[in-house]
Amino acid sequence: MKPSIAELAHAGALAIAGATLVAACGGSTGKSAAARADSAVQAPAGEAALQAPCPADGRWKECSVLDRLIRAGLGVRRDSAAAHEPGVATPGVLYHVGSATLALYFFPDSAARKAAVAALDTTQFVGYNDPQTIRAERSLIQSANLLALLDSRRDEQRERIGDAITAGPPQPVPPKR
């Protein structure tokens, strides 16, 4: 029995779709597996921030926080509005991580961050690994020169974001001897 024209057209369309899929997934582009992994689709906020190298000097910068969150497998989107918190004089950067909102405040050093935290009403916050009460407090995450305020009710998300940040900022590479 001969295949119909419709069946041949369908088979041709499937072959073209398959070839396109293989090419799109890097099947025959000549790139190594590492190069394909480096060019994987990143979160929109992370693309621009991770283009230039982020200096590893022992202090948090926006690019280093984004890198850490993206490497933790979190989808990060930057908000166009700045973050503002009563008691914190420095305006922050506002991000959306899934359904959560993350406000990041960068300070010159940990002493300046500690002074800003002292001015906060800490009854409105819990540690990222502490249980929330019925009031659904935001999580207060501190690391070196960074203060992060996370608004999320999901314990797993609070833990992943908190762990990514409290692991510490990127450290400088010691000179070779």
- Whether residue 52 sits in one domain with residue 9: no
- Whether residue 147 sits in one domain with residue 91: yes
Residue at 177 is within a domain? no
State yes or no: pLDDT of 56 exceeds 90: yes
Q: Which residue has the higher pLDDT, 29 or 47?
A: 47
- Distance, in Å, from the CA atom of 103 to the CA atom of 94, rounded to the nearest integer, reads 5
pTM for this predicted structure? 0.71
- Whether residue 125 sits in one domain with residue 64: yes
- Whether residue 64 sits in one domain with residue 114: yes
Q: Which two tokens stand for residue 130?
A: 């502490």
- Whether residue 152 sits in one domain with residue 100: yes
Instruction: State the pLDDT at residue 53.
Output: 86
Q: Contact 104/93 with Cβ under 8 angstroms? A: yes
pLDDT in tens, 129-144: 999 999 999 999 999 9
- Whether residue 91 sits in one domain with residue 78: yes
Instruction: State the pLDDT at residue 132.
Output: 93
Helix axes 155-166, 62-71, angle to 10 degrees: 130
- Whether residue 155 sits in one domain with residue 73: yes
State yes or no: pLDDT of 30 exceeds 60: no
Residue at 174 is within a domain? no
Residue at 92 is within a domain? yes
Task: Tell me how crowded residue 110 is: count the other CB atoms within 10 A of its CB.
Answer: 15
- Whether residue 102 sits in one domain with residue 18: no
Count of structural domains within the chain: 2
Residue at 173 is within a domain? no
- Whether residue 105 sits in one domain with residue 81: yes
Lowest pLDDT segment from 29-33, 85-89, 155-159:
29-33
State yes or no: pLDDT of 3 exceeds 80: no
Q: Which domain holds residue 62?
A: 41-166
With residue 139 as reference, give the H or E element that holds it: strand 138-143
Radius of gyration over every alpha carbon of the chain, rounded to an integer in angstroms: 23
Q: What is the residue whose two structure tokens read 């249980």?
A: 131
Q: 127: which strand partners?
A: 140
State yes or no: pLDDT of 11 exceeds 80: no
- Whether residue 88 sits in one domain with residue 104: yes
- Whether residue 70 sits in one domain with residue 13: no
Residue at 45 is within a domain? yes
- Whether residue 89 sits in one domain with residue 11: no
